[in-house]
């Protein structure tokens, strides 16, 4: 389906906050940690409801990850929240040794990912985090499309036994996926069936891909849109099935080309069914200050870029 009736705009981080509160009510083992960004992560409601299960770590992310690992060892389900930059690059070795290698059931809640946190600029706009996290054995990597999906993913992550990297963001955007969706980790969502080109997309660029598919439809091109909310483990079957039908693929993500979803897709296709691919992603550069919309345009990540990439890849078939 491409014609969504959008009744509200919301941020994905608020989906995390609502989901965390809901699963915390259902499971007393859920605990929350945050590194001085409780408001930004929308963890206040959880903190207010369960003050004894909330742990303020201060601006000390490395320690927070270790504390979370220690809690997980005793059967707790810690959600450790901070900005995506500080939840990955800053603490990579702590995650690697104490969480991933040690197989601790920690959920890393990473907000303000990608370019669309906007005006703070490149120091805070991590575009490498998907790559960093997907390279870690034992790590599940989730990147959600909107408020409803982030809420559902948060609950699913809590129920999943094992380390999870949950990536979401700051900007308000259309809330278009179903409120009652059944979020299955590792299972792609087919948003729209098409036959001319497959758009595999994740995070905020799922909505841009929907807009792109609408524009393409108006031009007589029928695009299939696959929301890859779980980058690892990748739903290989869904991608291969779709590309077998369409014969070409565009990957769209708010991330570097290097290490991103697109490279996961390329590797999958190279091993199974090579097909032309175009990448809508950031090409080996840092971001900068600006509004989210301006940044998506400047860095080539908006729906018109996806349209262009689709036309180009179709011409390469």
Q: How far is the CB of 69 from other proteins (least distance, A)?
A: 5
- Nearer to other proteins (CB atom), residue 76 or residue 312: 76
Task: For residues 199 and 277, give the distance between their C-alpha atoms in angstroms, rounded to a whole number.
Answer: 10
Query: Would you name the residues annotated as active-site residues?
Result: 61
- Nearer to other proteins (CB atom), residue 4 or residue 55: 55
Cα–Cα nearest to 109, from 60, 179, 157: 157
For binding to other proteins (CB under 8 A), which residues are involved?
Answer: 31, 52-53, 55, 57-58, 60, 62-76, 78, 93-94, 96-98, 101-104
Q: How far is the CB of 39 from other proteins (least distance, A)?
A: 20
Q: How far is the CB of 98 from other proteins (least distance, A)?
A: 5
Peptide bond into 233 cis (omega under 30): yes
- Nearer to other proteins (CB atom), residue 69 or residue 295: 69
Task: For residues 313 and 317, give the distance between their C-alpha atoms in angstroms, rounded to a whole number.
Answer: 7
- Nearer to other proteins (CB atom), residue 35 or residue 268: 35
Q: How far is the CB of 53 from other proteins (least distance, A)?
A: 7
Q: Cβ distance 80 to 64 under 8 Å?
A: yes
- Nearer to other proteins (CB atom), residue 78 or residue 287: 78
Q: How far is the CB of 48 from other proteins (least distance, A)?
A: 18
Q: Cβ distance 84 to 167 under 8 Å?
A: yes
């Amino acid at each position: 389906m491409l014609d969504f009736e959008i009744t509200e705009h919301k941020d994905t981080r608020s989906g995390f906050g609502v989901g965390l509160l809901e699963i915390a009510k259902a499971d007393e083992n859920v605990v929350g940690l945050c590194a001085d960004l409780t408001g930004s992560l929308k963890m206040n409601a959880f903190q207010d409801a369960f003050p004894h299960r909330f742990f303020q770590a201060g601006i000390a992310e490395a320690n927070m990850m270790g504390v979370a690992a220690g809690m997980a060892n005793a059967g707790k389900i810690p959600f450790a929240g901070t900005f995506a930059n500080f939840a990955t690059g800053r603490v990579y070795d702590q995650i690697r040794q104490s969480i991933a290698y040690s197989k601790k059931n920690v959920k890393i809640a990473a907000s303000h990912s990608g370019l669309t946190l906007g005006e703070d600029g490149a120091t805070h706009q991590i575009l490498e985090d998907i790559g960093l996290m997907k390279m870690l054995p034992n790590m599940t990597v989730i990147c959600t499309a909107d408020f409803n999906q982030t809420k559902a993913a948060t609950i699913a992550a809590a129920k999943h036994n094992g380390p999870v990297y949950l990536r979401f963001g700051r900007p308000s955007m259309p809330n278009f996926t179903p409120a009652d969706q059944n979020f299955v980790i590792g299972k792609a969502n087919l948003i729209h069936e098409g036959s001319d080109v497959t758009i595999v997309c994740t995070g905020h660029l799922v909505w841009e891909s929907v807009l792109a598919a609408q524009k393409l439809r108006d031009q007589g091109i029928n695009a299939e849109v696959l929301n890859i909310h779980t980058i690892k483990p990748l739903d290989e079957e869904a991608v291969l099935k779709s590309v077998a039908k369409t014969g070409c693929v565009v990957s769209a993500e708010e991330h570097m080309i290097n290490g991103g979803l697109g490279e996961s897709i390329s590797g999958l296709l190279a091993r199974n069914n090579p097909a032309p691919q175009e990448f809508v992603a950031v090409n080996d550069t840092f971001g900068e200050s600006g509004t989210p919309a301006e940044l998506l345009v400047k860095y080539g990540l908006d729906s018109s870029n996806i349209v262009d990439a689709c036309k180009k890849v179709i011409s390469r078939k």
